[in-house]
Amino acid sequence: MAWPRVRLVVTADDFGYCPRRDEGIVEAFLAGAVTSVSLLVNGAAAESAAELARRHQIPTGLHANLSEGRPVGSARHGASSLLSPEGFFLGKMGFREAVAAGDVALPQVREELEAQLGRFRELLGRNPTHVDGHQHVHVLPGGPMPSWA
């Protein structure tokens, strides 16, 4: 009996978080242990990570982030249900609690995710190979992932 062909995809997320992490991810990709990466476009090293992905032809997706750091969309210029008074995302638990309480404005979620997709396209010059969520925000009730995801 012939077994069906199976392709294992191992994705390293948080690509763009910091240079040291990115170096390890690239090493794992070059060694064949990782098959794709998910880019955190608001990460401190997003630009250099995008360059590494281009240089090594790493299949790259968008690591949608609504919980850590600062936004890339228009929310960074004012008040938003996604942000603390200091202008940072609410954190993993803070975002989950805000969603559960109904305090997150879904149009603001959509706007931020579209801005992150736009930033991804700026950095890599193409659409992502996939989309996943930082700290699993894509599985929360309320469907925060937009229709393009």
Residues belonging to the active site: 13
Phi, psi for 106 (deg, rounded to 5): -60, -35
Helix (H, G, I), strand (E, B) or coil at 137: helix
Closest to 105 (Cα-Cα) out of 63, 73, 61: 73
Residue 44 vs residues 23, 25, 49, 97, 145: alpha-carbon distances, Å: 14, 16, 10, 26, 23
